[in-house]
Structures are given as C-alpha cells and as structure tokens.
Amino acid sequence: MSASPDAIMRQWFQEVWNERREDAIDRLMAPDAKVHGLAEATIDGPSGFKPFYRTMCSAFGEFKVDVVQTVVEGDRVATLCHVTARHVGDAMGGKATNKPVDFWGITIGRVRDGRIVEGWNTFDFLTMYQQMGWVKAPVVG
C-alpha cells in the first residue's frame, strides 16, 4: 500500500529541501510529473526539476521548509509552507546578498502510487526578492 498524499508531500519537503537529498527527487517524483508555478514554463519530471532545485540550493543556505498544514482530498494534498533561508550564492540572476529570507507558499500536489505526478505552486517570491533587496517595496500612504 502506498503512503498517503499527505505523507508523500511531507516527505518531499523534509528530504528534498530540508535534508537536501537530491536522490529523493527520483524516488518521490514520477517520471511524467508536471510542476507548475516555479519556473517560466512547466517543469517536466525529475530531470526537468533538478536544474531548478540545484539553482535554489546554490543560491540559498540554511534552507528550511516547515509544513504548517495540509488538507487532503482524494489524491490531492494542499500544503501550506513557511520557508526560511539565507541568500548565500551568486545565482538567480544576481550576487549573493547574505540576507535572510522568510516567506510563505502553498503547493497543491497530486499523488499516484506513492509519487508526485503533478504540482501547482504559489510561493511569495516577491517578498523574498524584497527581503534580498532586489525589488523595492512600494510606499503606501
């Protein structure tokens, strides 16, 4: 029996992001997976995801994703995440700032046979860029 969608998603964030175990990507993501909302185009499967993953890992140290809440419906799981890290690498189009970042995001994953087959992501990268000093926050008032 396969693990629940909730367990798979929690395992994904723990092993792939918190433990930085790239090998877990192949185990937890189906070869035909589609990932939306993390790059300019849809990411196809583990081989398409790994360049994004490597860029993020080279750009950020002290990377930590806390799964705050999950909601499961059938083969889908919505996951509310709190992300903290430090921008330590010259990646993502700019020089390292060594600034901490703290932002939130939501992932909705679809799981089949114990693997993620589809993911829709909405992370507050604007706040992350503002904290890094790459985007100026508007003055209100």
Cα–Cα distance for residue pair 120/106, rounded to 1 Å: 8
pLDDT of residue 12: 98
pLDDT per position as a tens digit, 32-82: 999 999 988 999 999 999 999 999 999 999 999 999 999 999 999 999 999
Question: Cβ atoms within 10 A of the Cβ of 122, count?
Answer: 13
Domain ranges within the chain, ordered by starting residue: 5-132
pLDDT of residue 139: 82
pLDDT of residue 138: 81
Asked if residue 1 has pLDDT above 80, the reply is no
- Under 8 Å CB-to-CB from 81, ≥6 apart: which residues? 13, 65, 66, 67, 68, 104, 105, 106, 107, 123
Q: 5-132 architecture in CATH?
A: Roll (3.10)
Q: In what order do the strands lie in the sheet with 60-73?
A: 43-44, 29-36, 115-123, 100-112, 76-87, 60-73
Cα–Cα distance for residue pair 125/70, rounded to 1 Å: 21
Query: Per-residue confidence at 91, pLDDT binned at 50, 70, 90?
Result: confident
pLDDT per position as a tens digit, 5-17: 999 999 999 999 9
